[in-house]
Amino acid sequence: MRSPAAGRTRPRRRRAGSVVARSARRSRMRRVTRVGEVRRAIARWRAAGERIAFVPTMGAIHAGHLSLVGRARATADRVVASIFVNPLQFGAGEDYERYPRPVRADRSAFAAAGVDLLWEPSASAIYPAGDATRVRVERLTAGLEGAARPGHFEGVTTVVMRLLNAVQPDVLWLGQKDAQQARVIEQMVSDLQLPVRVRRGATVREADGLALSSRNRYLKDGEREQAAALSRGLRDARARLEAGERSARRLAAVVRRAWRGRPAVREEYVAIVDAATLEPVRTVQRRVLVAVAARVGSARLIDNFEWEPR
């Protein structure tokens, strides 16, 4: 990516109502596969003084992804999205081959949401022959998903760095549901002094609280109802925090209590960690991340919330 010293083209001053005007004249979504095509489109927008927002995804688009597109449109003149099921972040025995890929539905959803450019790179475009470079963030990747899925975050940071290098956005939008991933990418961007602002969008949920996820498609009918226990346990833990509970051990017990009697829910972890360092805490004294992971049938689901004492 460009160095911070290189600067950016200053966006043109916007008049009142310019968001409405841009929406009215928004062009049809363009789909590209090559890095060069992405860079040429970005260069044209930059020359016009436009700000760029980027929403990277692995497809199987749902309302959570589209909420990020909406936030991106509110913070930039142009929105770039990508769909790339990244093989590097899947471990042995994980669901890379069966990961949902409803390509036509995804394209339609992004077009309707107002994406300007959809990048659908091939694996060889991201990892060309002879590829030998990886990006690793230490410490923040040791626990939670990093412990449960060895090598996962090296795959995430490597692919995000390559996507950012091509798009070079002003703003990168990520979802709070993948809180550890967002925190790791924030650290990578800071450490490597990348000129992009990382922002998070709130987790989008079903009516019963289940966090939207591409892997919810794996749930069978009976499992779907039991999966809602993940968010129910988190809701109960938040209520206990609001009531004054500060023991991480007792908070974890509150989450697990909500899972009892639901045999399809098989715990991988229930963790209360510092929201910045992701280190486990025994007592809640500052902002924390309460995070859970469980298998429900064949689906591996995660959920979380952040909370800070007032």
**Are 51 and 150 within one domain?**
yes
Residue 9: what pLDDT?
A: 41
Cβ contact 162:86 at 8 Å: no
10-residue mean pLDDT series, the chain (310 residues): 43 41 64 98 98 98 98 98 98 96 98 98 97 98 98 98 98 98 98 98 98 97 96 98 98 98 97 98 98 97 97
**Are 222 and 188 within one domain?**
no
**Are 15 and 49 within one domain?**
yes
Structural domain includes residue 209 = no
**Are 263 and 194 within one domain?**
no
Q: Domain ends where: 201, 236, 263? A: 201
Q: Which CA distances in Å does 182 have to 27, 103, 170, 221, 233?
A: 30, 25, 16, 31, 22
Query: Which residues are known catalytic residues?
Result: 65
Full domain range(s) for residue 244: 214-305
171 CB-near residues (< 8 Å, 6+ apart): 51, 52, 53, 54, 72, 75, 76, 196, 197, 198, 199
Q: Mapping DSSP to helix (H, G, I), strand (E, B) and coil, where does residue 185 land?
A: helix
Q: For the chain, how many structural domains are there in total?
A: 2
> The whole model's pTM is what?
0.91
Residue 26: what pLDDT?
A: 59
Residue 309: what pLDDT?
A: 96
**Are 301 and 191 within one domain?**
no
CATH of residue 183: 3.40.50.620
User: If phi over 0 gives left and psi between -120 and 50 gives alpha, with beta otherwise, what is residue 266?
Assistant: beta
CATH of residue 234: 3.30.1300.10
Q: Domain ends where: 151, 175, 201? A: 201
Structural domain includes residue 208 = no
